[in-house]
Amino acid sequence: MAIQKIFLAGRWCEGRGEPMRSTFPADGSLNAELRAADVNDVNEAVEAAERAWRDPQWRGLVPHQRAAVLYRVSDLINQQLETLAQLQTRDNGKPLAETRGLVASAAATARYFAAACEVLEGELPTQRNSEVMTLSQYQPLGVIAAITPWNSPIASEMQKVAPALAAGNAVILKPAEATPLMALKLAELFEQAGLPAGLLSVLPGKGSVIGEALARHPLVKKISFTGGTGTGRHLAHIAAEKLIPTSLELGGKSPTIVLEDADLEQAARGICYGIFSSAGQACIAGSRLFVHRSLYQPLLARLCELAGGLRLGDPRQPGVHMGPLINDKHRQSVAAYVALARQEGGRVLIGGEAPADPQLADGSYYLPTIIDGLSNDARVCQEEIFGPVLVAMPFDDEQQLVAMANDSVYGLAAGIWSRDFPRAMALAEQLETGTVWVNTYKTFSISTPFGGVKQSGLGREKGLHGIKAYMQQKSLYLALTHQVNRWSD
């Protein structure tokens, strides 16, 4: 098998780092071999990016000309949707039904930020002084370090690359070590779309090497990171030392709330999707379930029925609900949390182990798992498991509910199930999260900002906030008269 090359400042070459392997989580088979980037590659890419974003060939383009590149990328993605979905399924093991949606989302993201680039305006602040007019402009930051996770590669990567380029920056993309292929394919698409050389590099490798070198490089003017809270906190320290902005989309332990007037079937199916789709490998997964005591037993019975009917298997096959976890090391981590739940007094109502099916033995599969009998201060209720594990707890009154839901270091998302919209909206106001869904879950719009509070992150992606996050504001004062300043008389 030929060595997969990396994309460094507009050219395809072998990395100068250690050998890497990309494998299919469903059976461990080889996807690709490549050499990781190293610090020398980082330095070369950043220096080329600094030259490229300052070059009038990019910086001097009017917005609709920059937008044209993103429109072409969107068209290329749509033309190759099935091929790209198949590649992402090989890259991280998600079922094709999910990866098709993620690829379509990436195309829509490129198109949205192309349009945002075209319509983004400065501001003319109101002035009381008739002798001076003020203008507010938005300008690019420079070189952006974009560091992405393995659970939704093409969607996460486009949510950083598209707005950063639309804003006039250059981007160094560091994909997760486990999933380098989609980022490299994205580089190929941008190259085909006519992006000038140097504005995008894709450097696979270890976060402790490539991510660290990028974050600390003096020419990098912003760090945009999606991943674990510990790494995010470390990157925030580096950004603080450099006095540069950072966007951090981190972990979650999202509460899902079922009020006594909820539609039980609607809630059960939404909760099932919210925790078990993507095999629970989502920062927004609804992993803590709070149910009014009057509905607790019937809802748990229905959830167990739904979980028991989910089909695990080869993610390339139609009708599969859950593919494998990303690798066996991660499956062991999920299994250790379930063992901890048992030690803490939890009851495993369904799942709690790897499937017995011998056809799944070569993959990193884990059964959908539902646990009850624990209080919200249990470790499995406080720590992110990042797998198909739901912990259910009853509540009796709303004051108790709000206290439990907010009793977490995280604040990324939440779900509410109720027929009473005024009550649900009032409850949503009290939840300390960046996103709240009512009678739905994991529904997204590229035009709506997304991000977390507390240890779930800083800043927002998507929407017009998403492009301004990669720009810096400048104020201009224009004198409207020829009056001479007589201060020095």
- Mean predicted confidence (pLDDT) in 472-477: 94
pLDDT digit string (tens) for 205-224?
999 999 999 999 999 999 99
Positive or negative CA dihedral for 64, 468, 226, 219?
Answer: positive
What CATH number did the domain enclosing 429 receive? 3.40.309.10
β 11-13/6-8 pair status: antiparallel
Contact 396, 344 (CB under 8 A): no
Structural domain includes residue 154: yes
Q: Are residues 290 and 231 in the same domain?
A: no
Q: Are residues 302 and 242 in the same domain?
A: no
pLDDT digit string (tens) for 29-51?
999 999 999 999 999 999 999 99
pLDDT at residue number 70: 98
- Mean predicted confidence (pLDDT) in 413-436: 98
Structural domain includes residue 185: yes
Question: Which residue in the list 249, 260, 305, 353 is annotated as catalytic?
Answer: 249
- Mean predicted confidence (pLDDT) in 420-448: 97
Q: Could you give phi then psi for residue 473, rounded to 5 degrees?
A: -90, 140
Q: Are residues 311 and 376 in the same domain?
A: yes
Cα 59 to Cα 63, 122, 350: the distances in Å are 10, 17, 57
In this predicted structure, the answer to whether residue 154 has a pLDDT above a threshold of 70 is yes
Cα 15 to Cα 7, 20, 48, 430, 463: the distances in Å are 9, 10, 16, 49, 35
Structural domain includes residue 37: yes
pLDDT at residue number 125: 83
Q: Are residues 179 and 221 in the same domain?
A: yes
The full DSSP string for 352-376 is -S----GGGTTS-----EEEES--T
Alpha-carbon distance of 100 to 84, in angstroms, equals: 8
In this predicted structure, the answer to whether residue 425 has a pLDDT above a threshold of 70 is yes
In this predicted structure, the answer to whether residue 127 has a pLDDT above a threshold of 80 is no
Q: In what order do the strands lie in the sheet with 389-395?
A: 347-350, 369-372, 389-395, 288-292, 255-258, 413-417, 435-438
Alpha-carbon distance of 27 to 363, in angstroms, equals: 4
Q: Are residues 89 and 237 in the same domain?
A: yes
Q: Are residues 19 and 162 in the same domain?
A: yes
Map residue 18 onto helix, strand or coil: coil
Alpha-carbon distance of 139 to 473, in angstroms, equals: 6
Q: What is the dihedral of CA 125, 127, 130, 135, to 10 degrees?
A: -20
Which domain, by its residues, includes 372?
255-438
β 143-147/170-174 pair status: parallel
Contact 275, 285 (CB under 8 A): yes
- Mean predicted confidence (pLDDT) in 340-352: 98
pLDDT at residue number 124: 82
Structural domain includes residue 407: yes
Structural domain includes residue 166: yes
In this predicted structure, the answer to whether residue 66 has a pLDDT above a threshold of 90 is yes
pLDDT digit string (tens) for 454-468?
999 999 999 999 999
Q: In what order do the strands lie in the sheet with 457-458?
A: 11-13, 6-8, 200-202, 170-174, 143-147, 220-226, 246-249, 457-458
pLDDT at residue number 393: 98
Region for 243 from its dihedrals, namely left if φ exceeds 0, alpha if ψ lies in -120 to 50, beta otherwise: left
Contact 48, 10 (CB under 8 A): yes
126 confidence band (pLDDT: 50, 70, 90):
confident
Per-chain mean pLDDT for the chain: 96
Alpha-carbon distance of 120 to 130, in angstroms, equals: 27
pLDDT at residue number 336: 98
Q: Are residues 38 and 92 in the same domain?
A: yes
**Percentage above 70 pLDDT, the chain:** 100
1 confidence band (pLDDT: 50, 70, 90):
low
Map residue 279 onto helix, strand or coil: helix
129 confidence band (pLDDT: 50, 70, 90):
confident
**Percentage above 90 pLDDT, the chain:** 94
Is 429 assigned a catalytic role? no
* Cα–Cα nearest to 214, from 239, 197, 195, 190: 239
- Mean predicted confidence (pLDDT) in 382-397: 98
Exposed, middle or buried: residue 97 (CB in 10 Å: 0-12, 13-18, 19+)?
middle
Q: Are residues 260 and 246 in the same domain?
A: no
Q: Are residues 95 and 217 in the same domain?
A: yes
Structural domain includes residue 62: yes
In this predicted structure, the answer to whether residue 142 has a pLDDT above a threshold of 90 is yes
Beta bridge partners of 395: 292
Q: Are residues 143 and 82 in the same domain?
A: yes
Alpha-carbon distance of 53 to 59, in angstroms, equals: 6
What CATH number did the domain enclosing 231 receive? 3.40.605.10
- Only one residue has tokens 């690829």, namely 103
- Mean predicted confidence (pLDDT) in 234-238: 97
pTM of the model: 0.95
Based on the structure, what is the number of domains in the chain?
2
Contact 351, 369 (CB under 8 A): yes
Structural domain includes residue 339: yes
Q: Are residues 231 and 270 in the same domain?
A: no
Map residue 471 onto helix, strand or coil: strand
In this predicted structure, the answer to whether residue 3 has a pLDDT above a threshold of 90 is no
Alpha-carbon distance of 157 to 227, in angstroms, equals: 12
Q: Are residues 67 and 82 in the same domain?
A: yes
Cα 169 to Cα 12, 116, 197, 225: the distances in Å are 21, 15, 13, 16
Structural domain includes residue 447: no
Contact 408, 431 (CB under 8 A): no
Positive or negative CA dihedral for 269, 274, 275, 281?
Answer: positive
- Mean predicted confidence (pLDDT) in 216-244: 97
